[in-house]
Amino acid sequence: MKLLVCISKTPDTTSRIAFTNDNTTFDSNGVQYILNPYDSWYALVRALELKEQLGGSVTIVNVGPSSNDAIIRKGLAIGADNAVRIDADPKSALYVAHQIAEFAKAENFDIVFLGKETIDYNGSEVGAMLAEYLDTPYISYATQMDVEGTTATISREIEGGTEVIEVALPLTVSCAKGMAEQRIPNMRGIMMAKRKPLKVVPPAESADLSTVSTYELPAEKSSVKMLDPENMDELVRLLHEEAKVL
């Protein structure tokens, strides 16, 4: 089983969000970066479990600059066999998907795993794009997945329920909570990760069709109105007359 996991680097949720250059650039000063949780907790761990069960290899791929190498090594420490970094700025979802597709096309992976979304741009776009480039079925928001022979059985979240799907490999899948339990790398994993192969490849030619021009911080929330706990009629009145939600 040849498995690929797409991993991205995102600012930790607790990071202060700020912008520079006239609000056109994210200010990475003092920002703590992590592996995107959906990629490392669910996508990577389920891929590792399937490899343990069925044999094969797990490759991780990231589109990003050399400063991402430390984060990529974390993925290797969790258990991936080898890593590929496509040496380019991840300018947009389409750009990232195109770069990964150019690398993955020749490799014939059986399953390509992604997280359900990145917690910075919250787009949930790369997976569908990659599936289209690779011409595979795409199952998003998978919460459970089993593979037998060349068939995968997957549960996916839909609005107000779940759907159970059977699909032949190769396929592209995006992973949500439920797919696997988070694995914390141990000392041995961290030591071994230093010697695992991390290949750097140059990017392919690619156009950008949708780019961020400016950022803005949302208006500060006006301060909270504290109400008398004895007077719930007042809260109901405010929700009806002022907030107009009841």
Partner 1 sequence: MVLIFAESTNGKFKKAAFEAVSYGYRVAQAMGSECAALVLGDAAEASQLGNYGASKVYRIGDASLRHFDSQVYTAAIAGAVEKLGASVVILSHSSTGKSLLGRLAVKLNAGSVAGASALPTIGDEFKVRKNVFSGKAVAEYVISSPIKLISLMGNAVAPEATGGTAEVAALEVALPASRITVKEVKTIEGTVPLPEAELVVSAGRGLKGPENWQIIEDLADTIGATTACSRPVADSDWRPHHEHVGQTGVAIRPNLYIAIGISGAIQHLAGVNRSKVIVVINKDPEAPFFKAADYGICADLFDVVPRLTDAIKKFKAANN
Exactly one of 82, 124, 144, 206 binds ligand AMP (CB under 6 A); that residue is 124
- Ramachandran angles phi, psi of 192, nearest 5°: -65, -35
Among 22, 148, 205, 216, indicate the residue that binds partner 1 (CB under 8 A): 216
Report the nearest approach of partner 1 to the CB of residue 92 (Å): 8
Helix (H, G, I), strand (E, B) or coil at 83: strand
3-state secondary structure 11-31: ECCCCCCCEECCCCEECCCCC
Q: Contact, 176 vs 142, CB < 8 A?
A: yes
Q: Which stretch binds partner 1 (CB under 8 A): 63-71, 73-81, 105-113, 162-170?
A: 162-170
Binding flag, residue 203, ligand AMP (CB under 6 A)? no
Q: 170, 137, 169: which is closest to 156 by C-alpha?
A: 137
Which residue, 99 or 155, is less far from ligand AMP as judged by CB?
99
For residues 168 and 200, which CB has a smaller minimum distance to partner 1 in the complex?
168
Question: Quick check: 184 binds partner 1 (CB under 8 A)?
Answer: no
Would you say 74 and 185 are in contact if contact means Cβ atoms under 8 Å apart? yes
Site residues (vs ligand AMP, CB under 6 A): 6-8, 36, 38-39, 43, 61-64, 90, 93, 96, 114-115, 117-118, 121, 123-127
